Every structure is written in structure tokens, then in C-alpha cells.
A and B are shown apart, each in its own frame.
Chain A
Amino acid sequence: MTGQQFDDEILMAFADGELDEATTGAVERAMETDDDLALRVALFMETRARAREAMAPMLDQPVPEALRRSIEDMVARHGGGDTQTAEVVAFRPAANDRRPSIARSRWIAPIAASTVAVLAGVAGYWLGSASPARQDAGLAVAGLSVNGLPAALDSTPSGEEIVLAGSDARFRAIATFEDGDGRLCREFEVDMPSQATLVSVACRQAGDWTVSFVVVAASGADGYAPASSLDALDAYLSAIGAGEPLDDDDEREALSAIR
């Protein structure tokens, strides 16, 4: 009856969440009374789910080390070795045409995650060692340096903001969690006197904090990092298998355990 008014492409777009609101409503109403229509929609939902189920494992394989090295060599040959000293790539806001109504594309995540992986790979800094000079140990990113960070990571409860010892930088602890390998990690932001905000993640490694992710964002007037850098962060967190943030008690316990 009413089934005839929707062609396959409309029903497919409905199944994929790509229809405008009005047509979505019309399809929904029609499906309530038309089983055949519902079945046709279900066919598109099921093919999507099954295709993904079948293909995702193949695509999700990590990049082989040999391939990565080979491309790195190739880039170095063409670019005169510039990759070793690459400055931090500012994370630009995504294009405005990103559709707000669609769940965030999985596509964006690997791009973002790989961009930040480069940041981490290029920077790869240690936040000081277990030496007496530890309090002075800092983080240097693209010419910015942050003193007192290890101590702040050790002791600042999430949700609190402090001024870092020995600098004008403001440090905000955002969350504490474990990554997929069970390492303790902290997400934090640092407002630099230079108006930049670092959005960063540090994880415990060999008894010290290692910064594994950092995006340098020009901060807004309110000092908070723009949302686009948080997209990169989200992508990174899912890439490392970050668990749920610890609650206050668990965080206190985890932090006291490392001191």
C-alpha cells in the first residue's frame, strides 16, 4: 500500500541515518503499519551490520612495522630528513561541513589518532627521571617548556587547577584512568603563559610519567582548549583502549601508590 512511495534508496538512507527529519518521520509512520516496508529497511540495516562485521577485523590490523619504516625512509629521502625535527602540527578544526547529525565518523578517528601519534613520536619526551632534580624536570614541546609537571601529575586530584611550581602555567587535572595495557594515565591541560593550551595525556612507564599525547591548541579567551583538540584526544583515548575515569577514591589510591 504505502510501501510504493519509498524507493530502495530512501529506505537505505533511512537505515543509514542519512535522511532529513521530515522524510525520516514519514518512513517511521509508514513502517508502523507496513511490515513489508519494515523488512526492506531491515535488509539494509542487516547488510550494513554484516558487512562491517565481516570486514572490520581485516581493516583493523595494525600497520606493519616494515611498511611504516619503509614509508618513513621514503619521506626522509624526499624531504631531506625533515621528519626528525618536525614541529608540532597544530590540530586544525575539522571542516565546517561535518554533519552534526551523524554520529562521529569512525573515519575521523583514525586520522586524528594517527596525527597525534606523530606528535607523540616526534616529541617522545620523558618527564624527568627518578633523580633528585626531578622537580625541575619539565616537558618541552615545540619550544614550550613546562616545569613542575611530574609533581603536579603525582598529586593534583582531577577537577582541580593549580599553578605549576616554577612557572606561570596553569595545570588542570582532568581525569585518571588505565589504558588497555593497564598503565595508569592522566589526562590534563596546561595553559601556557603564551596563550597556548596543551591538551595532554601522560602515562606511567618505568616508574615515571611519560607524555604520550599532546595537542597544542591556541586557547580561547576562557583559557579552555577548543573542541577540535578534544576530538583528537577522544580518538587517542580510544586508540590506547583507555578505561573509564577512576572515581575520586580510586584515583587517590592509585596516585598514592605511585609516590
Chain B
Amino acid sequence: MSTPADDVGKQLLAMLPVLRRFALSLTRSADKADDLVQSACERALASADRYEPGTRFDAWMFRIMRNLWIDRLRREKVAGPMDDIDDRSNIVGVSGEQVIEARSEMSSVSDAIAALPDEQREVLMLTCVEDMPYREVADMLGIPIGTVMSRLARARRRLAEATGITGDGARSSVQQGKRP
């Protein structure tokens, strides 16, 4: 006898920690994240009948949250550094010039992540921080897996450039990755 809003409500409460993680990775600020979680939950409850039972609830919520956040950014016109970096060609490793540049104004990893275009940061957060497989990220964002990979590769090259990561340090500290 439960209504769609009951079901959605239960799931919202159950996955609140996950929702807040999503929100934090989008907003990178605790206050904004809490606001976003609230708005997204309101929206989800109000449009509960649009959730198809049996589909991924987390993906549905993530899309709601992401759309709200993008709207908000547009409204407030506070969008961070955008798109120009996104279309850089495949830069393999780091060139000499870039090393000098990076050394002189090397950013912290979190600043560099904050400076990424939103769509690159989002795949970086979901794969590298949340450990989601590419396939799940693609399903959740509703984009092809190839797009996930190209955004992710760009995000990581960008991160490496901005912070001076060369891969040298990883050989000893990061063993074998996590091959199957």
C-alpha cells in the first residue's frame, strides 16, 4: 500500500550518506552540499512517480542532483574555469615547458581537481575517488563508456600537469594497480 513517495522517501533516508558524498563531490563545500541534498530530496519526493522501480535509484538521484547544481551555477553565474581545457589534444606525460610552469605554481591536488571542468571532475570523482567501474559511471551519467574514458584521461593528465605528478613517484608507492 505504499505510494511512490513512501518508497522514494525510504530510499532517500537509506542512502543519505551516499547522497551527501555525491553532493560534496559536486559542490566541494559542506554548506552547499547540504543545501543541494535538501533540494534534491525535495525534488525527488515531489516527482517520485517518475522514478521507475527496479532502475538504479542512485543514478536517478545523481542526475537530479547534478541538474540542480548545474542550474544553480548558471543562475548564480559562478561557474568555475570551464571547457577550454577539455579539448586539449592528447598530451602524453609532461613536456619540459610545462614542468617549469608546474613547478613554479604547483597547485595542491585538491585545488587542481577543483579547477577541472565539471564534466571531467565528475568522472574523476566517481572513478578514482568513489572507485566506480567505468561502466557504472557511464550508466549513471547516461554517456558512452568511451566518453567516460576520454574525459577521465584528460582529467588525469590535467591533474598531473597542474600538480607536477610525473608517474615517477608511483612506481614504488603504488604497486600493481588493481588488475583483475
Q: Hey, which bits of chain A sit against chain B, CB under 8 A?
A: 7-9, 12-19, 21, 24, 38-56, 58-59, 61-64, 66-68, 70-72, 74-76, 78-80, 82-83, 86, 89, 95, 97, 99, 101-103, 105-107, 110-111, 113-115, 117-118
Q: List 9 A-B contacts (CB under 8 A).
A: A9-B150, A13-B134, A42-B170, A55-B110, A59-B130, A61-B24, A74-B45, A83-B13, A111-B15
Chain A residues within 8 Å of B132, by CB: 105, 107
The verdict on A89 contacting B10 (CB below 8 Å), with A39-B93, A99-B135 known, is yes
Least CB distance from A234 to B in Å reads 15
Q: At the interface, yes or no: B117 with Cβ under 8 Å from chain A?
A: no
Contact among A43, A51, A76 for B129, CB-based, below 8 A: A51
Cβ contact within 8 Å between A45 and B18: no
Cβ contact within 8 Å between B159 and A51: yes
Least CB distance from B126 to A in Å reads 8
Sample of 13 more A-B contacts, CB < 8 Å, known A24-B180, A50-B165:
A12-B152, A18-B133, A39-B93, A39-B167, A42-B174, A51-B128, A51-B129, A59-B129, A75-B10, A79-B5, A86-B10, A103-B178, A113-B17
Cβ contact within 8 Å between A106 and B130: yes
The verdict on A59 contacting B25 (CB below 8 Å), with A48-B156, A99-B135 known, is yes
Q: At the interface, yes or no: B141 with Cβ under 8 Å from chain A?
A: no
Contact among A46, A75, A82, A106 for B12, CB-based, below 8 A: A75
Shortest 7 CB-CB contacts between residues of A and residues of B: A46-B170, A101-B180, A43-B167, A42-B167, A75-B9, A54-B109, A42-B170
Cβ contact within 8 Å between A50 and B24: no
Cβ contact within 8 Å between A111 and B125: no
Least CB distance from A20 to B in Å reads 9
The verdict on A105 contacting B133 (CB below 8 Å), with A16-B127, A17-B178, A74-B42 known, is yes
Interface residue ranges of B110-169 to A (CB < 8 Å) = 110, 113, 124-125, 127-136, 149-150, 152-153, 156-157, 159-160, 163, 165-169
Q: At the interface, yes or no: B96 with Cβ under 8 Å from chain A?
A: no
Q: At the interface, yes or no: B20 with Cβ under 8 Å from chain A?
A: yes
Cβ contact within 8 Å between A114 and B42: no
Cβ contact within 8 Å between A55 and B25: yes
The verdict on A54 contacting B166 (CB below 8 Å), with A12-B152, A63-B17, A105-B132 known, is no
Cβ contact within 8 Å between A21 and B25: no
Chain B residues within 8 Å of A95, by CB: 56
Q: Hey, which bits of chain B sit against chain A, CB under 8 A?
A: 2-3, 5-6, 9-10, 12-18, 20-21, 24-25, 28, 30, 34, 37-38, 41-42, 45-46, 48, 56, 58, 90, 92-93, 108-110, 113, 124-125, 127-136, 149-150, 152-153, 156-157, 159-160, 163, 165-171, 173-174, 177-180
Contact among B10, B170, B177 for A43, CB-based, below 8 A: B170
Least CB distance from A37 to B in Å reads 10
The verdict on A72 contacting B171 (CB below 8 Å), with A12-B149, A105-B132 known, is no
The verdict on A79 contacting B165 (CB below 8 Å), with A7-B90, A47-B159 known, is no
A106 to B13, CA, bound (A): 19
